[in-house]
Chains A and B, each alone.
Chain A
């Protein structure tokens, strides 16, 4: 019996295991191997064992710089906008409205980011808001294809993902702590700074991490709203693989991106453990 149960297990795991091996482990291993190779004369990959691709990463420094500046900036902006909303939903809203309002926050996140970014091209483009401002006599403003447009797109795209974890941690907050503080004479700002904010740190950390990680691999938002001027590592990768067909260099860049993300995640886990919130159960939705 024990034996057959074990066999059933392996049979059940088979297809998924095969899929992971063939389409995750193997391809990622190929990327790692290729990152030590060279560009073939006609494009693609030529076998080699060199660190030249990694040494050359500096030539794409602009992409890394934009990613490592705009991704955290966008995460911070999303956090600053999301926190009051999460607070409002967790503390101020009656139970009846809460579900509806929460669903309304999540819905945009689960609809195509392509269409949502397109909506901003529509609004920020020459005949949208700039036209409106010009008609109002407020001058000539260029919005599309600027870092501002990319940041706006980022905040718009990822705000829901930030609101949700913060809401979860605020909702769990024990209201009696606030009452006790109030009885002891703490003014509202002090209650917020010394109780609410510290206790919502796990939510802040989870939300920021989810958003930051997704942003680091972003392609569509900088492509559509940055117009090729404000580009991320993702945009450089598309260029390297689909246009200049430099697989070895592209692979080195992809490996660097994933490695950076791993480092960030590890540091974040350590930080979470230090603030005593090793597990904050926030699902994917």
Chain B
């Protein structure tokens, strides 16, 4: 057993961290937050050029062919630096769906474009929860009609993979009958767009079982998002710790008060538990182990919880200043919510974990 990343993997992580510290600054994230940009163009270009974003896409399809463990560490840094780029849409979801369910022709046509960054792809593969009417999309063998109500990166995407009933459908967004409506969102650093289709040409991803493929892709995304969540949680805890050492009240550093120390110890504990579940998930993902559904759900639930707790308590521990627009606390608060609901809620994934455990105990 060796429960750690290799030195080479850590080197890649360091390189990504250095690049993101320079480019995914608070200012760069705020360009997107305040609507002056759709995403952080420089960050995106760098992640593509380093081969970091396409780490898990095989070389034959234009990717870096490194693997999932590398992509996990890239994700952790992305989370730390609140990157405002379509990493999860293009690489955790759309590319994975095409890789696992697409025909050889579809893979050869689309994956190199995604890997090289000339095309942003997005995906909606379904989750347990649903608010809007259950069948807003209809796929009739060659065309798609209806609305997908809230796609991350839908505004800049050139390609979408959508779950329509029992099928996975690939839609070229340059096709006829596509229109887009930006929708307001609680995390404007990751804008949402409604996509409308009116007899838009579309094709199936031919894998036999759409539900099985979607579940597998979502498991992988759960692991990768868990790394983003752990990265974000660790960063907001560090910032909060630093602030508590600077700020004084009642004649002392506020970080010397036991009520605050204990709260930070609890956040740290939640993060470390999430971290080990994420590592376990990374192993299961990278080795395609039968434990993946269980490990992915455990990573998803614990990382969602850890980031939400860190973000909520980060504001609380900063006091009034933490509630202002100028501080970055709310960026983490928003991002924690975004990542926590992007592929279904903590509760839905906890239910999935329970399903797996009960199945195993049968």
A binds B: no
